[in-house]
Amino acid sequence: YMKVLLEYVWIDAYQNLRSKIKILNSEKNNLELEDISEWNYDGSSTGQAEGHESDIIIRPVRLFTNPFHNVYYKGIGLGYLVLCQTFDKDNKIHPTNKRIGCVEIYEKCKEYDFWFGMEQEYIIVDKSGLPYKWERPDRVFNSDSYCSVGGDRCYGREISEEHLHKCLEAGISICGTNAEVMTSQWEYQIGAVDALEVSDHLWMSRYIMNKVTEKYECSVTFLPKPFADYAGSGLHTNVSTKEMREEGGLEHIYKACEKLRLTHKKHIDLYGEGNNNRLTGKNETCSYEEYKYGVRNRGCSIRIPLSVYNDKKGYLEDRRPGSNADPYVITSLLMESIVFQKL
Ligand code: ADP
Ligand code: MN
Ligand code: MN
Ligand code: MN
């Protein structure tokens, strides 16, 4: 037998990630999803069950190479990160499990060949809750930090880049990173891939981020507006259908923008806890009470990038989602509105 390390990861009731490790005796070296059994945990400690019958079932849905345990030694095989979804004791989809709904809409919209790219922003904070490595009140919280370099203004690159390397090692479709406007605020992008892949990969990338911070005496916050007077964090979601990417695509992009006007409230209500504190109309946002789209304009709900406008095809950027939103919910809503909303 070969010993294989399986790190099961799931989403709790508060949209935090949890995990536990199991060692599998396996005859095979390279495992597939079918080789990995379901497992369970105590839902009363994760906000997902009450009383004595508190078992929650976790079912594996996607495997990643484990960048935290990737060594072969003394009979220990390759490790995996195992992304799971949750079911209650009666085997019903747990209400906090939004993946199943996403799969349903994904199947219905397959012919549209949706692609998504998500920009995950976050702020690194130290143990006291202040921006990581922030020491000088005269040099903080301002745009000096955006895409910056230099130890006097750029804090947390060791975390951003370790995260990048670990995601690449895991096989996550990460496609870039940059320092953001606020001190110790960063972003990375996942995509462009289909709805299930972007969502699964984004959740696992958040897990990897949380785990990386453990080494550095800090943590990250995905709250959309943790510091009231400064830039918040979003989860800009770039989306396209096959039609939008082909000749004449711009017309389909405008049509989608008009449909999204009609479903604005439905989206806003599900775009992340506390996100309305971020969508104030300041700091490159559009107020949550308004819906606007435009070319190049970062004060809009939906932005059509200039390059897309010039090429007359491509994608649109939904700037409304907050950094803590559930990607299964965002992609579900976008597919549903763009395909099924009538004009
Ligand atoms: P911004 O200018 O808003 O900061 P970024 O470069 O951070 O843009 O992110 C752009 C995102 O758009 C990336 O995640 C990328 O994968 C995604 N993207 C690019 N082309 C498409 C497309 N055709 N459909 C969907 N997403 C796309
Ligand atoms: Mn970006
Ligand atoms: Mn950004
Ligand atoms: Mn953006």
Which regions of 241-315 does DSSP assign to beta strands (E)?
A: 293-295, 302-304
Q: What is the pLDDT of residue 230?
A: 87
Mutation pick for ligand 1 pocket among 146, 238, 295, 307 (CB with most ligand atoms within 8 Å): 238
Write phi, then psi, for 130 (nearest 5 degrees).
-90, 160
* Ligand 1, CB within 6 Å, residue ranges: 115-117, 119, 175-176, 189, 191-192, 236, 238-240, 245, 314-315, 317
**What share of residues in the chain are helix, strand, coil (percent, to 5)?**
30, 30, 40
- pLDDT (tens, 9 = 90+) of the chain, 343 residues, equals 788 899 999 999 999 999 999 999 888 878 999 999 999 988 888 888 887 778 899 999 999 999 998 665 555 667 999 999 999 988 999 999 999 999 999 999 999 999 999 999 999 999 999 999 987 666 656 668 899 999 888 999 999 999 999 999 999 999 999 999 998 999 999 999 999 999 999 999 999 999 999 999 999 999 999 998 889 999 999 999 999 999 999 999 999 999 999 999 999 999 999 999 999 999 889 999 999 999 988 899 999 999 999 999 999 999 999 999 999 999 999 999 999 999 9
Q: State the Cα–Cα distance between residues 336 and 291, nearest whole angstrom.
A: 18
Beta-bridge partners for 5 = 23, 79
Which residue, judged by its Cα, is nearest atom 14 of ligand 1?
117
Residue at 167: amino acid letter:
C
Ligand 1 centre to CA of 89 (Å) is: 40
Q: Which DSSP string do the residues of 137-202 spell out, in sequence order?
A: TTS-SSGGGTT--STTT---HHHHHHHHHHHHHHT--EEEEEE-SSTTEEEEEEEEE-HHHHHHHH
Which regions of 194-313 does DSSP assign to beta strands (E)?
A: 218-221, 235-240, 293-295, 302-304
Q: Which ligand is nearest to the CA of 236?
A: 4
Q: What is the pLDDT of residue 69?
A: 86
Q: State the Cα–Cα distance between residues 217 and 221, nearest whole angstrom.
A: 14
Q: Which ligand is nearest to the CA of 296?
A: 1
Local structure of 269: helix, strand or coil: helix
Q: What is the pLDDT of residue 2?
A: 83
User: How many C-beta atoms surround the C-beta of residue 114 within 10 A?
Assistant: 24
Ligand 4 centre to CA of 123 (Å) is: 16
Q: State the Cα–Cα distance between residues 186 and 219, nearest whole angstrom.
A: 13
Q: What is the pLDDT of residue 137?
A: 61
Q: What is the pLDDT of residue 138?
A: 60
Atom of ligand 1 nearest to the CA of 236: 3
Q: What is the pLDDT of residue 140?
A: 58
Q: What is the pTM of this model?
A: 0.97
Mutation pick for ligand 1 pocket among 118, 119, 237 (CB with most ligand atoms within 8 Å): 119
Q: What is the pLDDT of residue 68?
A: 93
Q: What is the pLDDT of residue 27?
A: 87
Ligand 2 centre to CA of 39 (Å) is: 37
